[in-house]
Amino acid sequence: MKAKELKDKQEKELKELLQERRERLRQLRFELSQGKVKNIKEIRETKKDIARILTILNQRNK
């Protein structure tokens, strides 16, 4: 997701999206340990999405 897309969302939507991304990251890590992940790049992208969401939430709280 792009940062611009995230800035247009409400805080509640961002928190829900953050929860979804964290759950997806947990699933990817579990699958990686089992050797089922074919696209390792998805883990990196998911981590970056989480960081973007947290950055926007922190900016709004200031």
Beta strands in 17-59, from DSSP E residues, in sequence order: none
Q: Report the CATH number of the 9-61 domain.
A: 1.10.287
For residue 27, the model assigns a pLDDT of: 96
Phi-psi region of 35 (alpha: psi -120 to 50; beta: other; left: phi over 0): left
E strands, the chain, are none
Q: Is the pLDDT of residue 21 over 80?
A: yes
Q: What is the pLDDT of residues 50-59, one digit of tens each?
A: 999 999 999 9
Q: Quick one: average pLDDT of 21-31?
A: 96
Q: How many CB atoms lie within 10 A of CB 31?
A: 14
> Looking at residues 6-31, what average pLDDT do you find?
95
